[in-house]
Amino acid sequence: DASSEVKKILSEMSLEKKITQTLMIDFRKWGSSETDMTVLDPQVKDIISEYDFGAFILFAQNIKETDKTFDLTMALQEAATSDDGIPLLIATDQEGGSVFRLASGTALPGNMALAATADENCAVMAGEIIGSELSAVGINTTLAPVVDINNNANNPVIGLRSFSDSADIVSRFGSAVLKGLDEYNVIGCAKHFPGHGDTDTDSHYGLPVVDKSYDELSANELAPFKALIDNGVGMIMTAHILYPQLDNTTIYSEKTGKEEKRPATMSHKILTDILKGEMGFDGVVITDGMNMEGIAATYSETQAVVEAIAAGADMICMPATGIYRESEMKRIDAIVEAVEKAVDSGYISEERLDDAVTRILNLKEEYGILELDLSKYSKKEAMNIVGSDENRKKERDIAAKAVTVVKNDGDVLPLDIDENSKVLMVAAYNNEKAQLLMGWNRGKQAGVISENAKVKCMNISDDLQTVSGELKENIDWADTVIAISEVGNADQMAYNSWQSAGVNNIVEYCHKNKKVSVVMSCSKPMDVQLYPEADAVLAVFGNKGSSVDVTEALVGSVTESKQAYGPNIVAGIEVILGVYGASGKLPVNIPEFDAANKSYSSTNMVYERGFGLSYDKK
């Protein structure tokens, strides 16, 4: 169904304009020097004006400072609407936690932390913070929330980006984030359909396989997508993953010269029959980035786009990325031409293309983007909202509420810190020390620790795996040691690296020498089982220092954001010291790890989902 306005716009569009309306383009850098594009380059302005793209995706390279981000989005919309063009969807990956782009904004503790609060209002609040900051700077779409179910402890890319290993929790908290975004008229996007949780391959690097039946997926992976569809989500992102039991057909690849299996992004059965048909989704189906190896290793840019649209994708995210100069626009021209040929030959029906464009225009109409009035935006307001004290205070409260204590022998927490106390804090990485010290200083501000207590802060590393040298000196000096455990995979779980072995050596040395040891897990919480001699163990579900963002790192660039910082480690220290009480609950089961086989038990749980010890603040 479409309004008369949408039908009128569609009827006046050329074939070429319909095709470019389905493209979400990125220009992270521009020019021969390939500098980060934080200001709209005149050449890019002309390209946006000429091509009538449907959407533009911004990355951390584009959005570093609030005032420049505001100017950039306004300039993009002015370029898009010149000559009666259609306003853009302007998107970014503002998930919160390990993936956030708006460097001047509020980072938030991430999805698994939100679920650990066991309070859906915290998720609504997180959605409102993201929505308020993005809408203030003219970004109308966030490619979030992730509603993948974290049902594979070895998943290398989803992990903390997932709310839980329970379909019900993911459904409830994903819907709550969406509700918060809606308050600020920001489009949400549920991802990655039909589910990226049960994989042990990262689709940025390879093509994962999920060998589950439709009935199995319906009971689990598909349930959160259905919940968000029922709650009016405007956009759903596809996964570059093979689901052989849903679609085992093949396609001849022009790039490899052989028959290849169809990932979900190119599957008519998955996108059209299941998502749009059986699940009744009438919004915009957008692909994950087409530059990812899950697609790019097997298919040419032109074939990938043609196949995705034919399968039922309405919008193509980054059909050709890494375009830094005008001469490289011929790659976009080739894609448009390939889709034109596919329509002319009937491989893509005109109805299919019109349906895609209608869905995009409907979404733009629903969110007021077709009637965009730039005079309603205020740079002054943006400066007041993005990264505001109010948003940071909410972020701090949410992060603290998420902190989950699983072990507290002798009620050692909250720590009693008097003027004679000597505390050593050991980070996993150098960029986390600031967070540890911020938490300590907040303890002083709150009056829960003595002003005269002494603290030292260092980071462990490969060559500090054994308790010797500076590490030994510092532990011998201290009466209490707080150590970060940042364990990301099965190898590290098996004490095969300093990330776990080093921390365990510290804990055992403290135990032998009658010193208090507290371990803070700040990655996936599976490692809370690794330190039996520790006096206390807690999980904070996030390790964002001023560090590299997981998805940015995958495409080879580094983001050093000066303003936004991960709140999780700070919150962990605040709960350890009693600035806040402990109330978090594990949003995932912690299966027993078998170090010999580097695998997790499917039956024995060290801690059950929902477990968490509590105590009052000081």
Active site residues: 204, 288
Cα gap 39→36, rounded to integer Å: 9
Cα gap 104→385, rounded to integer Å: 10
Maximum CA pair distance of the chain? 81
Going from the C-alpha of 390 to that of each of 133, 327, 395, the distances in angstroms are 12, 46, 9
Residue type at 25?
I
Cα gap 585→587, rounded to integer Å: 6
CA 517 to chain centre: 32
Going from the C-alpha of 483 to that of each of 419, 427, 442, 462, 494, the distances in angstroms are 21, 6, 18, 15, 18
Give the pairing type, strands 55-58 and 141-142: unpaired
Q: What's the start-to-end Cα distance of the chain, in Å?
A: 58
Phi and psi, residue 437, nearest 5°: -70, -30
Exposed / middle / buried, residue 258 (Cβ in 10 Å: 0-12, 13-18, 19+): exposed
Sheet holding 404-408, edge to edge: 404-408, 536-539, 516-521, 480-485, 422-427, 454-459
Cα gap 148→174, rounded to integer Å: 10
Cα gap 466→464, rounded to integer Å: 5
